[in-house]
């Protein structure tokens, strides 16, 4: 009989499984979990724990990030030394900025003011004395000679013969008087071999009647109609180390007052000492 054999007796369909699938109701779909394997509830708890750890890591690495679903007891306080170091760097940065600002202000105060660009110097010489001198076109460059005795007369010639000079340098310049007369000025520089020789020559030429070094008009190097020498005008002499500077000035026509004329010519000669730098 069919009822006697029973479906439950022989097990043609295999034994009935008594495990989590059979008892789990809605969870009974699929293959059974092996012995000791975590179930769905255990997996969920593990995932929540891992998420908590991840949030803790993110919170420690990103300042300002707050952990999600993490209990206050699980959150570790930030590193106090790290915060102090950051504050220290901020203070140092602010200090450097302050120093830069103060340095800039000091530079603005002490910075030299911009000077205007000066124009190139003029090629035209300006008078620096009482008279304005110009080189004579007959003597555009200084005349130099080592034979001083041959360009002297009187006792000066005798002295230079016995005591030869090292070099004689001469030049001729012109200027004008207040009333418009042309003044011819001869500048002679006698360089002696010693300071003692220069001193003796200066004393000799400064005395009357002892002769002198020839001016360029007397020496014939310059031709000025109406003048044979500049010796009757104004004379001046000066010693500069081993150099003896002798200057004579005169005009073709003298004034009515000879003494006043000579005084004016002497003033011209004294003003001409600054012309020595153009010769030597």
Average per-residue pLDDT in the chain?
A: 75
More reliable by pLDDT, 150 or 14: 150
Are the C-beta atoms of residues 174 and 138 closer than 8 Å to each other? no
Q: pLDDT class for 280, splitting at 50, 70, 90?
A: confident
* The length of the chain, given as a count of residues: 280
Query: Which long-range contacts does 216-221 make (Cβ < 8 Å, 24+ apart)?
Result: 216/139, 216/143, 216/170, 216/171, 216/172, 216/186, 217/172, 217/184, 217/186, 219/151, 221/138, 221/139, 221/143, 221/170, 221/172
Burial of 236 (0-12, 13-18, 19+ CB in 10 A): buried
What is the C-alpha to C-alpha distance for residues 78 and 81, in angstroms, rounded to an integer?
Answer: 9
Instruction: State yes or no: pLDDT of 125 exceeds 50.
Output: no
3-state SS string for 198-260:
HHHHHHHHCCCCCCEECCCCCCCCCCECCECCCCCCEEEEEEECCEEEEEEEEECCCCCCHHH
pLDDT score, position 27: 44
Residue 255 has a pLDDT of 82
What gap in Å lies between CA 192 and CA 276, rounded to an integer? Answer: 16
Tell me what the mean pLDDT of segment 186-195 comes to. Answer: 97
Closest CA to 187 of 230, 137, 148: 230
Query: Is the predicted pLDDT of residue 167 greater than 90, yes or no?
Result: yes
Q: What are the pLDDT digits (tens) for 4-55?
A: 444 344 444 444 444 444 344 444 444 454 555 555 555 555 555 555 555 5
Amino acid 156: pLDDT: 97
How many angstroms from the chain centroid is the CA of residue 165? 47
Q: Give the residue extent of every domain in the chain.
A: 43-75, 134-278
Q: What is the pTM of this model?
A: 0.56
Residue 201 CA to residue 195 CA, distance in Å, equals: 10
Question: Which residues in 196-233 are b (16+ Cβ under 10 Å) and which e?
Answer: ebbeebbebbbeeeebbbbbbbbbebbebeebebbbeb
pLDDT tens digits for range 209-260: 999 999 999 999 999 999 999 999 999 999 999 999 999 999 999 988 999 9
């Amino acid at each position: 009989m069919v009822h006697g054999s029973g479906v439950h007796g022989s097990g043609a369909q295999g034994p009935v499984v008594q495990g989590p699938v059979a008892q789990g109701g809605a969870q009974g779909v699929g293959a059974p979990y092996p012995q000791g394997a975590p179930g769905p509830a255990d997996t969920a708890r593990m995932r929540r724990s891992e998420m908590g750890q991840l949030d803790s890591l993110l919170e420690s690495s990103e300042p300002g990030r707050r952990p999600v679903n993490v209990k206050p007891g699980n959150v570790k306080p930030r590193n106090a030394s790290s915060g102090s170091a950051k504050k220290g760097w901020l203070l140092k940065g602010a200090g450097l900025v302050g120093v830069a600002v103060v340095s800039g202000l000091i530079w603005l105060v002490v910075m030299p003011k911009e000077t205007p660009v000066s124009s190139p110097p003029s090629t035209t010489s300006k008078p620096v004395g009482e008279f304005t001198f110009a080189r004579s076109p007959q003597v555009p460059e200084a005349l130099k000679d080592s034979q001083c005795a041959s360009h002297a007369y009187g006792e000066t010639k005798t002295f230079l013969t016995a005591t030869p000079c090292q070099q004689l340098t001469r030049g001729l310049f012109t200027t004008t008087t207040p009333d418009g007369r042309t003044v011819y000025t001869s500048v002679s520089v006698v360089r002696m071999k010693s300071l003692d020789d220069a001193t003796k020559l200066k004393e000799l030429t400064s005395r009357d009647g002892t002769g002198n070094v020839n001016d360029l008009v007397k020496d014939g190097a310059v031709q000025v109609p109406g003048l044979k020498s500049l010796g009757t005008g104004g004379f001046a002499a000066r010693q500069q180390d081993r150099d003896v500077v002798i200057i004579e000035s005169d005009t073709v026509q003298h004034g009515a007052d000879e003494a006043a004329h000579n005084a004016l010519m002497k003033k011209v000669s004294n003003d001409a000492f600054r012309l020595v730098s153009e010769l030597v």
